[in-house]
Amino acid sequence: MNNFVDGTGIPLGFGMALAQNPEAMEKFAAMTGEQRQGILNKAHTIRSKDEMYSYVNSLVGEMPPHPPAQF
């Protein structure tokens, strides 16, 4: 059985945990593609629900602040 959402490479448990943490979801969405891929690579190694939720919750503190907008 494949453990991915819509074949995009996002583990189902990661997607579910992310959906329950809007702040982490926003941080993940704001990351570069390379940053997101690193997060997903780690997520693929997680095997328990509790560990996945802890991992997603830890994302809130990992994203560097956005650079100032340039107009």
pLDDT for position 15: 94
pLDDT for position 44: 93
Q: How many structural domains are present in the chain?
A: 1
Q: For 25-61, write each residue's pLDDT tens digit.
A: 999 999 999 999 999 999 999 999 999 999 999 999 7
The four Cα atoms 4, 10, 16, 20 give a dihedral, to 10 degrees, of -170
Q: For 8-19, write each residue's pLDDT tens digit.
A: 589 999 999 999
User: CA-based angle 11:14:12, to the nearest 5?
Assistant: 40
Residue with tokens 């995009």: 8
In this prediction the pTM is 0.72
pLDDT for position 61: 77
Within a domain: 65: no
pLDDT at residue 66 greater than cutoff 50: no
Q: Which domain holds residue 44?
A: 14-60
Within a domain: 71: no
Within a domain: 9: no
